[in-house]
């Protein structure tokens, strides 16, 4: 067996005329947080669906935990935990029932069942609410319950498909604390899709996917380096003199930006302390802006990742929730 927990080779998925996933290959290492970044409709969810056996690839191969996702579906299913974009809880039953159901279908031994359920529920702070019906839970509580459920059978790989979409910042942070703790303590591999940049930053490695194709894959830091240098913005008592001094000393382009000066350097974080000490300028304010993954995506695809796309997807999300008929 190889050290890659997930291996994907020349994966293609077509829906009629539409090619949702267009010949992508990648590997995921054991224990890493692997991020899939891209706009809606880029093929992120389709890829996850193939990896978790919910969809069959049109061509190509994928293995997870050494098992083929087409021919060894049951073994793959035993190896994974999922937190979907949309709730997949039974809201007519209690939190406890949902977890018991999950424990039963995933063959958690009866002797361990209650202990594990208590453990995961306490981890996501839902132990007190365990006997309440899920339909009375808030959106954040539901997501936490799903996370708890996804962990119940100690999966090798935890798939998080837009795990914090539509949640408030506090709940998002909470969920991330659990995920990071888990990844550290249990060595669980986390496969994440998101279009929140700050979330993607938490990944060990990121694959950027656009229109079904993989356009880049590396650590967040290296991806950002690819775009270019860090931007230093500085304000001094004498901007004109300072601009001249910086130009001659560091051989760099300096731009006037209102009452600030802006220039680009490599490794801005290491550059700053020396610059402040040695430049001899009367600095009144200084800031460092590093390229974001947003800039990376823009550079690679020529398009913005968020803007209306994120806005739309959240609206879509709310609509699909709110528009449902009660049963």
Partner 1 sequence: MDNLIGVYTIWYRDVLRFWYDKARMFSALLFPIFFLAIFGSGLQRSIGMMAGGVDFIQFMYPGIIAISVLMGSFMSGVSIVWDREYGFLKEVLVAPISRVSVAVGRTLGSATVATIQGIMILVLAPFVKVSLSVGMVLALLPLMFLLAASMGSLGILLASRIKSTEAFQAIMQMLMFPMMFLSGVFFPMQDLPAWMSFIVKINPASYGVAAIRQVVLGTPPESPFSIYLFGHAVTIWENIMIMAAFGVIMTILAMWSFGRQE
Contacts with partner 1, residue ranges (CB under 8 A): 52-56, 74-75, 77-78, 80, 82, 84, 86-93, 97, 101-102, 104-107, 133, 149, 324-325, 327
Q: How far is the CB of 85 from partner 1 (least distance, A)?
A: 9
Q: Are 147 and 162 in contact (CB under 8 A)?
A: no
CB neighbours of residue 205 within 10 Å? 18
Nearest CB to partner 1, comparing residues 55 and 182: 55
Q: What is the sign, positive or negative, of the torsion defined by CA atoms of 182, 187, 189, 194?
A: positive
* Closest CB 286 distance from partner 1, rounded Å: 49
Of 197, 268, 207, give the one whose Cα is nearest residue 234.
Answer: 268
Q: How far apart are the first and last CA of the chain?
A: 47
Shorter beta-carbon distance to partner 1: residue 51 or 242: 51
Whichever of 55 and 281 has its CB closer to partner 1, that residue is 55
Chain-centre distance for alpha carbon 135: 27
Contact 162, 5 (CB under 8 A): no
CB of 89 to partner 1, least distance (A): 7
CB of 147 to partner 1, least distance (A): 13
CB of 307 to partner 1, least distance (A): 28
Residue whose CB is less far from partner 1, 136 or 252 = 136
CB of 117: closest distance to partner 1 in angstroms? 15
Cβ atoms within 10 Å, residue 13: 22
Alpha-carbon distance 199 to 172, whole Å?
9
Q: Is 77 helix (H, G, I), strand (E, B) or coil?
A: helix
Residue closer to partner 1, measured from CB, 137 or 297 = 137
Alpha helices in 31-137 (DSSP H): 44-51, 73-79, 95-105, 110-123
Between 109 and 258, CB nearer to partner 1: 109
């Amino acid at each position: 067996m190889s050290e890659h927990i997930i291996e994907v080779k020349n994966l293609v998925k077509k829906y009629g005329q539409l090619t949702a996933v267009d010949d992508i290959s990648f590997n995921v290492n054991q224990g890493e947080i692997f991020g899939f970044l891209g706009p809606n409709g880029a093929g992120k969810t389709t890829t996850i669906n193939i990896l978790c056996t919910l969809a069959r690839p049109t061509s190509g191969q994928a293995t997870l935990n050494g098992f083929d996702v087409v021919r060894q579906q049951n073994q793959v299913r035993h190896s994974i935990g999922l937190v979907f974009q949309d709730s997949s809880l039974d809201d007519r039953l209690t939190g406890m029932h949902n977890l018991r159901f999950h424990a039963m279908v995933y063959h958690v031994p009866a002797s361990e069942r209650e202990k594990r359920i208590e453990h995961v529920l306490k981890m996501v702070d839902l132990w007190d609410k365990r006997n309440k019906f899920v339909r009375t839970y808030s959106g954040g509580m539901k997501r936490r319950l799903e996370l708890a459920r996804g962990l119940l059978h100690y999966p090798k790989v935890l798939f998080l498909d837009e795990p914090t979409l539509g949640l408030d910042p506090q709940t998002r942070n909470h969920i991330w604390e659990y995920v990071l703790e888990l990844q550290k303590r249990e060595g669980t591999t986390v496969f994440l899709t998101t279009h929140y940049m700050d979330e993607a930053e938490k990944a060990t490695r990121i694959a950027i996917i656009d229109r079904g194709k993989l356009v880049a894959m590396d650590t967040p830091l290296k991806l950002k380096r690819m775009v270019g240098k860090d931007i230093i913005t500085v304000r001094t008592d004498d901007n004109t003199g300072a601009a001249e001094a910086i130009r001659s000393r560091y051989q760099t382009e300096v731009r006037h930006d209102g009452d600030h000066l802006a220039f680009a350097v490599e490794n801005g974080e290491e550059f700053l302390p020396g610059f402040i000490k040695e430049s001899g300028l009367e600095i009144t304010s200084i800031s460092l802006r590093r390229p974001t993954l947003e800039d990376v995506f823009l550079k690679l695809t020529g398009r913005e990742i968020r803007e209306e796309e994120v806005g739309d997807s959240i609206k879509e999300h709310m609509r699909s929730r709110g528009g449902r008929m009660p049963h």
